[in-house]
Structure 1
């Protein structure tokens, strides 16, 4: 979907604010960084800052994660692939928060989460919405595959278990990004899916 010039400018300003906020916190620590410092580094006024973010913490953690693309969600439910975990992982990574983002910003932000428990808790809270969405999509996929007469409670448990597995693999991918600087997100996702396939077949 084509964006307008205004939307592109808005996105560029938002990303500049996020990059500078994260960079300053990495350098000075979260408590020492002020909104004024972020504004000065970004070349904007406080008024403009608050048009984008309500708080300093919001700029550091980032904009709300988008929901999963509706078309990709429908395709996921309708697919009959053999590797549900890998497919769910690819859906989340491609549609929500991973692929196509600023790789340095993502890696720096992950470092911050490691060092600042309060920011990690905020990120986990933000993830609750997408976690529920993943679980519902996996449930709908499993219900379609299972057919009539399937145990609904069991299907919900399966969806919940797989969702937690996806989130765990995403954390593994995040740690790989931090450890292997310079390895792009697409390659990391592909390597993780391949590793999952080998590991699950062994198990």
Structure 2
């Protein structure tokens, strides 16, 4: 279903994106320590009051204030599918969720450059991703429970789901560092490579 937005919602998104782009550009040019809210406001043509209506801090404007959320339709499809490659599907779900706050590849690539220069920003991004661990674990549980044997222990299934959810966030951190070193390479190629590497590594351990 195509998301229908009101004129007000469209304007809100456009303003938020303009603030984010200007904040990222200012950090790239002047450094994170030199960034101020006043600089962002001047570049964006807004008041401080407007800025704080959108973002709580300058760092939030740089990495995006809203924590990523798993798309409801994608979550339902993940639970219902009988695909044989659970690892790859969980990884794809995590990656697409983490990128949902980056509306264009240029902004994504610029943010990756900032993560390289400012590891504290990468840490904050990963902390944001940690918020979806519980939700992701529940989706994995529902998926594996569909095909579980009648004698399967619910507690063991939930432990497996929780372990995989936490592990995938670690894999996402690995992928992010790979994007940084490759200057923001195509995410589809990176996802395919990481999925293959993950499967072959687990087989050899």
Which TM-score band (shorter chain)? 0.7 to 0.9
Q: Is the Cα–Cα contact under 8 Å of residues 112 and 183 in structure 2 kept in the other structure?
A: no
C-alpha deviation, 1:87, in angstroms:
0.5
Residue 41 (structure 1) aligned with residue 43 (structure 2) = yes
Unaligned runs of 5+ in 2: none
Partner of 1:146: helix, strand, or coil? coil
C-alpha deviation, 1:54, in angstroms:
1.6
C-alpha deviation, 1:48, in angstroms:
1.7
Count of aligned positions: 202
Partner of 1:152: 154
CA distance, structure 1, for counterparts of residue 120 and residue 197 of structure 2: 32
Partner of 2:118: 116
Partner of 1:136: helix, strand, or coil? helix
Q: Is the Cα–Cα contact under 8 Å of residues 18 and 59 in structure 1 kept in the other structure?
A: yes
C-alpha deviation, 1:16, in angstroms:
1.5
Q: What is the aligned counterpart of 2:187 among 182, 185, 192?
A: 185
Partner of 2:99: 98
Partner of 2:109: 107
Unaligned runs of 5+ in 1: none
Q: Is the Cα–Cα contact under 8 Å of residues 139 and 159 in structure 1 kept in the other structure?
A: yes
Partner of 1:2: 4
CA distance, structure 2, for counterparts of residue 30 and residue 116 of structure 1: 8
C-alpha deviation, 1:200, in angstroms:
4.9
Q: Please, what is the CA RMSD of the aligned residues?
A: 2.4
Q: What is the TM-score with the length of structure 2 in the denominator?
A: 0.84
Q: What is the TM-score with the length of structure 1 in the denominator?
A: 0.85
192-201 vs 60-69, greater mean Cα deviation: 192-201
